[in-house]
Amino acid sequence: MNPKFGASLLSWIPPRWTPEGGLYAIQKTAAAGFDLLEILLPPSMEFDAVTVKKQLADHSLSAVCSLNLPPTAHIPFHPQEATRLIKAALDKTAQLDVTFLGGVLHSGIGVFSGQPRTPEEENTVCEVWADVADYALQLGITIGIEPINRYESYVCTSADDVLGFLKRINKPNLGLHLDTFHMNIEESNFYDPVVGAGSSLKHVHMTESDRGMLGEGNVHWDDLFRALKAISYDGNLVLENFSSAVPGMASAVSLWRPSRYDADELAKGSLAFMRRKVDEFNQQ
């Protein structure tokens, strides 16, 4: 396996894009030794792609983009708004010359119907994803769909959920985006979802079970890296851990206890952990 190592914008700042915060995240990501920054696009799309593209180049960083749908773009309830917003995010992604958009692109986080998803809702999701996949293909962009845990969504909570949709839609530029925090809640293990996805796996959020330092929680990292090696994974491994030392982060991502580490310690320690694990399993 030959992955690229990245840091999420959320490793440095809360999920509220500002030009100053974005530049800070770029500077910190480069200084910590990562290959790329994952830019979480704001739903407002108030984002100066031209300036950010230059800032990334100035710091020798590549990038990927992500988007988490807000409640007003929950696909089963608001398919037209979701389609408009995803296409707007794809436009911003293209303006950065970036070829990947991932994230929670199935539902508004925290939006529930009170029931399991229905066949009608599944049809709506498929229609929206097929539409935006065709649009993305014209821009040379791959879309990765991130399942999240049952306490945040009812639409896609597992790798199998997403893979079932992908098989049904059958678009070459639609793939799976996994997150080990959510996998720790929803999957029975860390090996089978990765191997089952195979080449459909395009992006992985590397997150400990408590959002802290990689290797110090309950995620079964050896099983994950064994699976990544089995599929010869060469996508992105993007750190997404949080520190309460970052102003505004505690309320944004529910860090109700003080973190053991600040953002710099988490980033550098976790990057070293990822590099170690890749080297270890590549040598086996």
What's the confidence (pLDDT) of residue 40?
97
- Nearest C-alpha neighbor of 38 from the set 2, 3, 11: 11
**pLDDT exceeds 90 at position 114:** yes
**pLDDT exceeds 90 at position 274:** yes
Q: What is the mean pLDDT of the chain?
A: 96
Q: At a CB cut-off of 8 Å and minimum separation 6, what does 277 contact?
A: 221, 222, 225
DSSP three-state, residue 153: coil
**pLDDT exceeds 90 at position 258:** no
What's the confidence (pLDDT) of residue 251?
79
What's the confidence (pLDDT) of residue 242?
84
What's the confidence (pLDDT) of residue 16?
86
Q: How many Cβ atoms sit within 10 Å of the Cβ of residue 48?
A: 13
Q: For helices 49-58 and 79-95, give the axis angle rounded to 10 degrees.
A: 40
Q: Give me the active site residues, please.
A: 146, 240
Interatomic CA distance for residues 127 and 142, integer angstroms: 17
What's the confidence (pLDDT) of residue 262?
93
User: What number is the average pLDDT over the span 33-48?
Assistant: 97
User: What number is the average pLDDT over the span 53-72?
Assistant: 98
**pLDDT exceeds 90 at position 250:** no
Write out pLDDT tens, residues 199-236: 999 999 999 999 999 999 999 999 999 999 999 999 99
Architecture of the domain delimited by 4-282: Alpha-Beta Barrel (3.20)
* pTM of the full structure: 0.96
Write out pLDDT tens, residues 154-181: 999 999 999 999 999 999 999 999 999 9
Write out pLDDT tens, residues 127-156: 999 999 999 999 999 999 999 999 999 999
Q: Which residues pair with 145 in a beta bridge?
A: 176
Interatomic CA distance for residues 126 and 35, integer angstroms: 33
What's the confidence (pLDDT) of residue 284?
85
User: What end-to-end distance do the CA atoms of the chain give, in Å?
Assistant: 12
User: What number is the average pLDDT over the span 26-50?
Assistant: 97
